[in-house]
Amino acid sequence: MDELDDRELLEALGVSIETKKVSARTPQEERIIAGFEDILKFVDEHGRPPLHGDERDIFERLYAVRLDRLRELPDCRALLKEFDRHNLLEMLSPVHGGFAEDGDDSALLEALGVEKANGVDITRLTHVKPRDEVRAAEEIANRTVCVDFARFRPILEQVKKELDEGVRQTRRFQTMAEIKKGEFFIVGGQIAYVAEVGDEFRTEYDRRDSRLRVIYDNGTESDVLLRSLQRALHRDDAGRRITDPSAGPLFGGDADDEDLESGTIYVLQSKSQHPDVAAHRELIHKIGVTGGKVETRVANAAMDATYLLADVEVVATYKLFNINRTRLENILHRVFAPAQLDLTIEDRFGHPVKPREWFLVPLPVIDQAVEKIRDGSIVDFQYDPSTASLTRAKAA
C-alpha cells in the first residue's frame, strides 16, 4: 500500500479539509466595515445610536456623521447588512449610491470643524482627547438631566463670568486632593459644581468615600463617588480646580524700594452735553486702570467714543503696586455692573457705539470699593443701585 499523503491521512481520521477563502473585499470595503464596527461598539456600550450635538463627545459626533453617510449609500447598506445587529441602517431612505470617497474620517472630521494641519495625520486626532482619556471622564458616572437646573444655572453662569474676568483662577488638580461641597471644577470640558456631599463611608479597601451630587453647566448631573471624581480629574489633562474668588494681594499701602509701580485706577467725569449725561453728571463716572499716565490716556477723549466723544475731568486716582491691572479692572467692573450706564451714541463715522466702563455710582462709593480691594474683602460685595451702596453679595 502506497504511503498515504497528509490529506488522505486527515480524511481517514475524519478531519474535513476546507480551503480558506481569500477575502474578495477591497481595502475600502474593509475600512467601511471597520468604521461600522466602531459604531456598533458604541451602541453596545451606551445602549443607543450616536447623536449629533456640540455637547457630545467628539467621537460620538464622528460616529453620528459616519452613520448618516452609511445610511445614505445603498452599496454601504448592502455591504454592512450582515453586521447590522442593531438595525442601524434601516432608519433612512437612500439618497445616492456608490462608495463615496468623502465618507472617510478626514472628511467627517472636517465636517465637525476639526481641521487638518500641514504635515499632521488627521486620523491621529492630535487635538482631540484620546479615547482612554474620554473613558476616564466617563468613569465618574452616567449623567442624567438635572430637573432643577434653574436653581444652579445662575451660580454656574456667575462662575464662568468670573473665570472670564480673572476673578477666579483654575489650578491643576492634585492627586486625590480634597473635594468639598460648594466647590467648582472643570472635568470633561464642563464646569462641575459639587452641590451635595453625602455621609462618609468606608470602601471594601477601608478607604473613606462619599456620594456626591455634581451639577454640570450643560444642564446634567451625576450621582458620583468622591473618589471617582478625584480619579477623573486627575486623569483628565484638562481637569482643573476652580479657585474661590479672591483679589489676592492687589497692592500695599506704601511702596517699598523693591516695589514696582504697576499703574493707576482712574475715575473720570464727562463734560459731554448729551442730555442723559448732563442730567446726571455728578453720578456718572468712568472707572478704569492704566499702566501709563492718566493724562496721556485721556488726551484725545473728545475724539474717542469710549470717552463719549467729549473732554473729561480726572476726579480721582489711586496708585497701584505689583498688581495685575486687567484682573483689578475686571473686579471693579463686576462690582459696579448693576449700575452700568445704558447709553448709545454715534461715533465720528455715524456708527452706533455703546461705551462701557461708565457707571452711575457716587464717588464716595468708589473710594469704599478701593479700600475693600486693599483689605481683600471686595469679592464679598456688589453695588446696589437701590441703596447707592456696597452690599454683601448673596452666597451661592
Strands (E), 236-360: 240-242, 261-270, 284-290, 312-321, 345-346, 352-353, 358-360
Domain ranges within the chain, ordered by starting residue: 27-127, 134-242, 261-392
Contact 138, 91 (CB under 8 A): no
Whether residue 96 has pLDDT greater than 70:
no
The CATH fold assigned to 134-242 is SH3 type barrels. (2.30.30)
| The total number of residues written for the chain in this structure | 396
Span 354-392, pLDDT tens digits? 888 899 998 888 888 888 887 778 888 889 988 888 988
Q: pTM for the complete prediction?
A: 0.38
Across the chain, mean pLDDT equals 75
Mean pLDDT along residues 117-143: 48
Mean pLDDT along residues 283-297: 86
Span 148-157, pLDDT tens digits? 999 999 999 9
Supply the angle between the helices 363-375 and 325-335 in degrees, to the nearest 10.
Answer: 130
Mean pLDDT along residues 288-303: 85
Beta carbons within 10 angstroms of residue 84's beta carbon: 15
* pLDDT at residue 175 in the model: 63
* pLDDT at residue 140 in the model: 54
Side chain identity at residue 277, one-letter code: V
- Contacts of 167 by beta carbon, 8 Å cutoff, 6+ apart: 245, 327, 330, 331, 334, 379
Span 308-329, pLDDT tens digits? 888 988 888 887 766 677 778 8
Q: List, in sequence order, the alpha helices (H) in 112-245.
A: 131-138, 149-165, 226-235
What are the Cα distances from residue 79, in Å, to 69, 73, 95, 104, 388?
Answer: 14, 10, 16, 16, 73
In the chain, % helix, strand, coil (3-state, to 5) comes to: 35, 20, 45
Mean pLDDT along residues 113-140: 45
207 pLDDT band, cuts 50/70/90, is confident
- Contacts of 138 by beta carbon, 8 Å cutoff, 6+ apart: none
Whether residue 198 has pLDDT greater than 70:
yes
* C-alpha cell read off for 81: 447588512
Report helix, strand or coil for 125.
coil
Mean pLDDT along residues 336-343: 88
